[in-house]
Structure 1
């Protein structure tokens, strides 16, 4: 079994993801081979007091980028949108970003 730090890689800080914080939805970049059950356990372990209601995962394809004449693809990644229950504690990292 992987450690929670190996499953939850980074938070996603965009305008759309920060707009969802008021709806108790938090977005993270996660390991490509992680499933929803592992993501739930990792979020509840990394952020004590949180209770996950639902997980949505998205596999994001790498975008094509050019550097002068040559071109290539950015790495693909997996993104998880975590919805917390109403009686759950919030994630303080996102609260400080507002």
Structure 2
């Protein structure tokens, strides 16, 4: 049983823009191995339903669930001037058992 909007209700052009980049870090790798989840940087206004639909459309995998985290950008100094890093919205996409998402591009 699926909650939320159907995959067909989304604009395909919008879905192609929702996922900004995969996040490859030590933490993301640990989560991927432990709970079969992939981490993406997504648009600030992306919803969980859009993220799920985008992953299913682009990678042809079945998604079990999506968790979203908003990270505030840090304030950084460059000499006298003060700058600020961008706020980031991360999506942890959990795949259904038996599903695998290959971000490397090489054949599995």
Q: TM-score range by the shorter chain?
A: 0.7 to 0.9
Q: Name the CA shift for 1:8/1:55 in 2 (closer, same or farther; >3 Å).
A: same
Matched, 1:19 2:30: yes
Alpha-carbon distance in structure 2 between the residues aligned to 1:94 and 1:26: 12
**Greater RCO structure (CA 8 Å; 6+ sep):** 1
What residue ranges of structure 2 are gaps of 5+ in the alignment? Answer: 1-10
CA contact (8 A) 1:36 1:55 kept: yes
Q: TM-score, normalised by structure 2?
A: 0.80
* Aligned counterpart, 1:44: 56
- Of 22, 26, 29, 2:41 maps to 29
Matched, 1:92 2:102: yes
Higher Cα Rg, which structure? 2
Q: Count the aligned residue pairs.
A: 94
Alpha-carbon distance in structure 2 between the residues aligned to 1:63 and 1:31: 18
Alpha-carbon distance in structure 1 between the residues aligned to 2:105 and 2:19: 18
Moved over 2 A (4+): 1-5
* Aligned counterpart, 2:86: 75
Structure 1 residue 94: deviation in Å?
5.4
Q: TM-score, normalised by structure 1?
A: 0.87
Alpha-carbon distance in structure 2 between the residues aligned to 1:24 and 1:94: 16
Alpha-carbon distance in structure 1 between the residues aligned to 2:48 and 2:68: 8
